[in-house]
Structure 1
Amino acid sequence: MKKIVLSFFLFISIFSFSQENKLKFNRPFVIFEGCDEAEDKERCYDIMLSEFFAKKLNTTELKERVFNEAKKDTVIVSSYLVYNELGSIVTNFSRISLPLKDSKKETLDIMEQLPSVKPVLDKYNNGVSEAVGSIYGFLLDRNNDKVVPILGYEPEVVPFAIIEKVPIYKGCDKNLSNEDLRKCMGSKISEIVIKNFKSKLAGRLRLSPGYVKIFVTFKINKDGKVIDIKARATHPKLADEAIRVIKKIPKMDAPGYQRGKAVIVPYTLPIMFAVD
Structure 2
Amino acid sequence: MKNLFLSTLLTIFAVCISQSQNNFNYQEFSNPNPKNELSLFFKKEVPKKLLKKAVFLPKNNNIVLSFSINKENKPYRISVTNYSSKELKKAIIEAFKKYPLENLNLETLDKRNRYHFQIISKNKSKNIFNCSSKIIIETPSICEPCKDLEFFEDLKNCLNLEVKKYFYENADFNLLNNLFNLDQSKLKDEKDIELYLYEEIDLHISFLISENGQLKNKKTNVPSVFRDEVSRLLETFSANIKSGTFNGKENKPTHSFTIKYKKGEKPVYKDRNSSYANYTKPSIENELSKFYSKRLTEDFLKTVNLNRIKNRLTISFELDKKNKPFNIKTSARSKTVEDKIITIFKEYPIEKLNFTDKRNFNNYIIQILSFKEGKIIVNTDSLIGYERVPIFPGCENSKDVSDVKKCFSRGIQQHFAHKFDASLPNRLGLSPGRLRITISFKIDKEGKVTQVITRTSRPSASIKAEVAKVMKTVPKMISLPMQNGKAVNIKYAIPFTLIVE
TM-score by length of 1: 0.52
Larger RCO (alpha carbons 8 Å, 6+ apart): 1
Whose helix proportion is higher, 1 or 2?
Answer: 2
- Over residues 218-250 of structure 1, what are the superposed CA-to-partner deviations in whole Å (9 max), with x where a residue is unaligned? 222222122222323320100011111112211
Aligned to 1:267: 492
Task: Give 3-state SS (helix, strand or coil) of 1:74's partner.
Answer: coil
Q: Which of 310, 316, 322 in structure 2 is aligned with 1:114?
A: 310
Aligned to 1:11: 10
Contact kept, 8 Å, 1:168 with 1:174, in 2: the verdict is no
Q: Deviation of residue 204 (structure 1)?
A: 1.5
Distance 1:189 1:89, change over 3 A: farther
Aligned to 2:349: none
Segments of 4+ in structure 1 off by > 3 A? Answer: 12-15, 59-66, 76-79, 86-90, 110-113, 118-128, 130-134
TM-score by length of 2: 0.30
Distance 1:89 1:223, change over 3 A: farther
Contact kept, 8 Å, 2:3 with 2:498, in 1: the verdict is yes
Q: Which of 466, 471, 475 in structure 2 is aligned with 1:241?
A: 466
Contact kept, 8 Å, 2:11 with 2:491, in 1: the verdict is no
Distance 1:236 1:77, change over 3 A: farther
The within-5 A match list for 1:87-98 is none
Aligned to 1:189: 412
Alignment partners' CA distance in 2, 1:196 and 1:230? 18
Aligned to 1:74: 268
Alignment partners' CA distance in 2, 1:177 and 1:168? 11
The within-5 A match list for 1:1-276 is 5-9=3-7, 10-12=9-11, 63-69=165-171, 71=173, 72-76=266-270, 113-115=309-311, 117=313, 119=315, 128-130=328-330, 164-173=387-396, 176-233=399-456, 234-276=459-501
Distance 1:230 1:121, change over 3 A: closer
Contact kept, 8 Å, 1:4 with 1:200, in 2: the verdict is no
Task: Give 3-state SS (helix, strand or coil) of 2:4's partner.
Answer: strand
Looking at CA atoms only, which structure, 1 or 2, has the larger radius of gyration?
2
Contact kept, 8 Å, 1:119 with 1:127, in 2: the verdict is no
Unaligned residue ranges in structure 2 (runs of 5+): 13-83, 87-157, 174-265, 274-299, 332-362, 366-385
Q: Deviation of residue 60 (structure 1)?
A: 7.9
Aligned to 1:143: none
- Over residues 14-70 of structure 1, what are the superposed CA-to-partner deviations in whole Å (9 max), with x where a residue is unaligned? 99xxxxxxxxxxxxxxxxxxxxxxxxxxxxxxxxxxxxxxxx79x987754542236
Alignment partners' CA distance in 2, 1:247 and 1:178? 26
Unaligned residue ranges in structure 1 (runs of 5+): 16-55, 80-85, 91-109, 135-162
Contact kept, 8 Å, 1:78 with 1:133, in 2: the verdict is no
RMSD across aligned positions (CA): 4.4
Task: Give 3-state SS (helix, strand or coil) of 1:199's partner.
Answer: coil
Q: Deviation of residue 5 (structure 1)?
A: 1.0
- Over residues 73-92 of structure 1, what are the superposed CA-to-partner deviations in whole Å (9 max), with x where a residue is unaligned? 5134558xxxxxx99999xx
